[in-house]
Homo-oligomer: A and B are copies of this chain.
Amino acid sequence: MRVKDGNWFTEVCDEAGSAFSLRVTKKLHTERSRYQTIEVYATSHFGNLLVLDGFVMLSARDNFVYHEMMSHPAMYTHPHPKRVLVIGGGDCGCLGEVLKHSEVIAAELVELDERVTRVSERFFPELCAANDDPRASLHFTDGVEWVARADPDAYDVIIVDSTDPIGQTARLFQAPFYVSCRRALGDAGVLIVQSESPLIHTELIHSIRAEMGNAGFQRMSTLYFPQCTYPSGWWSATLAGGQRAHTEFREPQAREKSFATRYYNADIHRAALAQPNFMQAL
C-alpha cells in the first residue's frame, strides 16, 4: 500500500506496519529501467531523494551515516585494504568513501543497473565525485556472478550495499554468495553487508550470520547505526571475516585518519560494535 498526495512521498513497511514520509516539492525524475522504476524527488528538508521500486534508497541529507558505516569499519578492520569490491551501491556513495583510503590501489563497483549510477551522477553528484579516480572501475553486471568468477584471494574488502532481500537481491543474503565471497577474500579478507533493521528484521540478521557461518566465515559482528530514512530509523551492517576478531580494528589509524567524515570516527566505530541485550539474546 502506498499513501501519496501531491506533497508527500511515503514508503510503507508492511512487515512493521509502519510508514515513513518526506515532504516533496518536486518530482525531478522518473524512469523504468530494465530492472526497476527509478524516481528522484526534491524534498523540503532532506535534499534530493532516490527511490527504487517505491523504496527509499537515500536522501542527500542523511546518506552520510549509511555510506560511512558501510565503508570505514570494514576498511579499518582489514590490516591493509588495497583491493576493494563494492556489490550494488550504484549511487557510488560507498565507492567514494572507500577511495578516501590512500592504501587502496583498486576499487571496483559492480552494480546491476547502470541507470542507477547515471541518475545518481545527475542528481547526487557529490556521491559520484570520485568516480573518475584512476583507482576506480565501474562494472554494470550481476554481482553474484562477478564474485563467483573472481580469483581466490582477489579482494581485501567486499562491501555489499544492496537493496532489501526481495527478488534477485535475496541471493545476496544467502550462503552460496557468501561462499564465493569467502573464496574471493581469502583468510584476511573482510566482508560487510547491509543487514536491515535491528528492530524489524531481527530474525533476518540472525539468518545472515548463520548463512555466513555456513559459508566458512569464522567471525561475525553486527554494527548498529541510525539511518533516518529507512524503516524504524535504525539500521545494521554485518561484518564477517576470518579468525581475527573485529574488535581489533586499526584504531590508531582510524583516530589519525587524514580524510573528513561527518558521522564516523574511532569512538563511533567501537560504539557501533556494542550489542544491545535483545540482540545478544538471539
A23 → B minimal CB distance (Å) = 4
Is A263 among interface residues, defined by CB-CB distance under 8 A? yes
Q: Mark A254-282, 1 if CB is under 8 A from B, else 0.
A: 00000011111101101111111110100
Number of interface residues of A (CB under 8 A): 47
Query: Which of chain A's residues 1-48 have a Cβ closer than 8 Å to chain B?
Result: 3, 5, 8, 10, 15-23, 43-46
Say yes or no for A121: interface residue by CB 8 A criterion: no
Binds B, one of A90-98, A142-150, A226-234: A226-234
> Within the complex, which residue of B45, B263, B278 is in contact with A278, where a contact is CB–CB below 8 Å?
B263
Decide yes or no whether A188 CB sits under 8 A from chain B: no
Q: Given A20-B20, A265-B277, 15 other A-B contacts at CB below 8 A?
A: A17-B22, A18-B20, A19-B21, A199-B226, A224-B226, A226-B233, A260-B277, A265-B274, A265-B276, A267-B275, A268-B274, A268-B275, A270-B274, A271-B272, A271-B274
Instruction: Given A226-B232, A262-B278, A274-B268, decide whether A17 and B3 contact each other with a Cβ distance below 8 A.
Output: no
Closest CB-CB distance, A12 to chain B, in whole Å?
Answer: 8
Interface residues of A (CB under 8 A from B): 3, 5, 8, 10, 15-23, 43-46, 61-62, 65, 198-199, 224, 226-228, 232-234, 260-265, 267-268, 270-278, 280
User: If the complex has contacts A228-B232, A267-B274, are A8 and B16 also in contact, measured as CB distance less than 8 A?
Assistant: no
Q: How far is the CA of A118 from the CA of B28 in the complex (A)?
A: 49
Nearest residue, chain B, Cβ from A45: B17
Q: How many angstroms between the C-alpha atoms of A99 and B18 in the bound complex?
A: 32
A233 in complex: contacting residue of B8, B233, B271, B273, CB < 8 Å = B233
This chain's copy number in the assembly? 2
Nearest neighbor of A230 in chain B, beta-carbon distance: B233
What 4 A-B pairs are tightest by C-beta distance, nearest first? A233-B233, A271-B271, A17-B45, A271-B274
Query: Does the CB pair B17–A18 fall under 8 Å?
Result: no
Contact of A8 among B3, B198, B234 (CB under 8 A): B3
| Residue of A16, A17, A22, A224 with highest tally of chain B CB at under 10 A | A17
Contacts of A264 in B (CB 8 A): 277
A59 to chain B: closest residue by CB: B18
Chain B residues contacting A19 (CB-CB under 8 Å) are 8, 10, 19-23
Q: Which residue of B lies closest to A65 (CB)?
A: B276
Contact B21 A45 (CB under 8 A): no
Chain B residues with Cβ below 8 Å from A224 are 226
Please determine whether A268 and B276 come into contact, CB atoms closer than 8 angstroms.
Answer: yes
Nearest CB of chain B from residue A114's CB, rounded to whole Å: 31
Min Cβ gap A67→B in Å is 13
Expressed in whole angstroms, the Cα–Cα distance for A20 and B277 within the complex equals: 26
A-B contact pairs, 21 of them (CB 8 A): A3-B5, A15-B45, A16-B45, A17-B22, A18-B46, A20-B20, A21-B21, A226-B226, A226-B232, A226-B233, A227-B233, A228-B234, A232-B233, A233-B234, A263-B277, A268-B274, A268-B276, A268-B277, A270-B271, A270-B274, A271-B274
